Amino acid sequence: MSAAGGYPISADEAEERAFIVEVYRWMTGGLALTGGVALYMAAHPASIVALTSNRVLFYGLLIVEVLAVFGLAAFVRRMSSATASFVFLGYAALNGVTLSSIFLVYTQSSIANAFFVTAGTFAAMSLYGWMTKTDLTSLGNILFMALIGLVIASFANMFFRSSTMYWITTYAGVLIFTGLTAYDTQKIKGMLNPSDEGTDMETKEAISGALALYLDFINLFLDILQIMGQQRES
């Protein structure tokens, strides 16, 4: 078997490439769904105002999102591929609803700019994670611990409201999710068991990998938006 450039590749490499393509297909589909829903909401700003003004509804949706993410991450192997697909796409759509609130804060041009910067950064780090021969496991462990610290600090700052802490956690978030993009990409390369090729399990593993990359992209985008986003005039 040969690659596009004429270089021979093994059957295992071909399976690996096919799997990563499926992962990115799911991730891209999830991002497209999120963006489509958010843009639809942005075209109807009254719906965003109604959503954000109802705190019970807004935070209720956020809780459902968190439960969906943890549920999918923890129990994807026990689900059918149809259920895993429904949960992933449902989460992506719901995330589009809640993320639409950024259109009340930032200008559309700055949101677009932040998206393209995120896409470029994500692509570069994902390519690095795919190509590098360096084992990124140790880096992943460090980044995971840093992520826990980031979540705790961000939660604490909801009460202290420190602008210094806000910017520290924002820039730290960019570094953490940039690194996690490379780590998760490398990790996904080893997710597929050859015996699972073409089975229901392969689809579920692809969705699991897509969820990890989707979360890296969304969180990186939000941190970059906070740094370079231009707020709308009141």
Q: Which ranges of the chain does DSSP label H, i.e. alpha helix?
A: 11-42, 45-53, 55-75, 81-99, 102-105, 108-131, 137-160, 163-189, 200-228
For the stretch 193-234, pLDDT in tens is 766 676 788 899 999 999 999 999 999 999 999 999 999 876
Q: What is the pLDDT of residue 214?
A: 98
Residue 100, helix vs strand vs coil: coil
| Contact (CB, 8 A) for 27 and 217 | yes
Average pLDDT, the chain: 91
Q: Tell which residue, 181, 211, 184, has the closest CA to residue 85.
A: 211
| Contact (CB, 8 A) for 52 and 58 | yes
For the stretch 161-198, pLDDT in tens is 899 999 999 999 999 999 999 999 999 987 877 666 76
Mean pLDDT value of segment 2-29: 76
Residue labelled with tokens 């806000």: 166
For the ranges 2-6, 30-34, 39-43, the lowest mean pLDDT is seen at 2-6
Mean pLDDT value of segment 32-37: 97
Q: Residue 5: pLDDT above 80?
A: no
